Chain A
Amino acid sequence: SQKIEQNSEALNIQEGKTATLTCNYTNYSPAYLQWYRQDPGRGPVFLLLIRENEKEKRKERLKVTFDTTLKQSLFHITASQPADSATYLCALVPFTGGGNKLTFGTGTQLKVEL
């Protein structure tokens, strides 16, 4: 069956360190993968999109890698700050027609401590 797995346990790191979050998937052929941030009581906020033919994408302190052989994406936040504390969701869009409905992982909660 198709699965998207993210660490269910919260990730606690110290301010200034690099946070690395993992997204693994099985039985998907994603056209692209997206990362979102969700704060309590709010909707997801788009962060980055990476296509299946791209290895790495960067945006300011964020970096995403995509390994279609390992079926894994890594999401890095460098020089982390307490304001980065949130739940981070990965979402896949498969190679099928009819729009790009997103299939989400359950998210990993990140806490950045002073």
Chain B
Amino acid sequence: NAGVMQNPRHLVRRRGQEARLRCSPMKGHSHVYWYRQLPEEGLKFMVYLQKENIIDESGMPKERFSAEFPKEGPSILRIQQVVRGDSAAYFCASSPSLETQYFGPGTRLLVL
């Protein structure tokens, strides 16, 4: 059983471009979480999704950020019009239930 997959592992964008981060949860996991880790800071919750539904987006910035978890395919975290402050590591985690979360390797976004 493969672990949580994230791609790309590294992403470089110029200010104003769009960034799309993908997360494939572990097989059988229907809960997906996105976290962001800024340099020298801890992991911060962004959004919690189940298939086709956003359950909790209390950690998402109000503008430019969106997330989806379609019926088929990976979960996508989308950042429009990126700014330098968006540079961070973005981690996806999946869970089969409401307890242990299994994290992917992360996508490191660098905004030039």
Contacts and interface: CB of A to CB of B under 8 A. Distances in A.
A49 B99 CA distance: 9
Nearest to B9: A41
Q: Secondary structure of the A side of the interface? A: loop
Contact of B55 (A43, A45, A99, A105): A99
B1 interface: no
A98 to B, nearest CB: 5
B100 A98 contact: no
A10 to B, nearest CB: 14
Given A49-B99, A89-B42, A101 B33 contact: yes
Interface residues of B, number: 26
Nearest to A106: B42
Given A101-B56, A101-B59, A43 B104 contact: yes
A102 B59 contact: no
A67 B93 CA distance: 27
Contacts of B99: 32, 49, 100
A99 B91 contact: no
Interface residues on A, range: 20 to 34
Interface string B69-105: 0000000000000000000000101010011111111
A66 B42 CA distance: 21
Given A42-B105, A98-B48, A100-B99, 7 more contacts: A43-B103, A44-B43, A46-B103, A99-B33, A100-B101, A101-B58, A104-B44
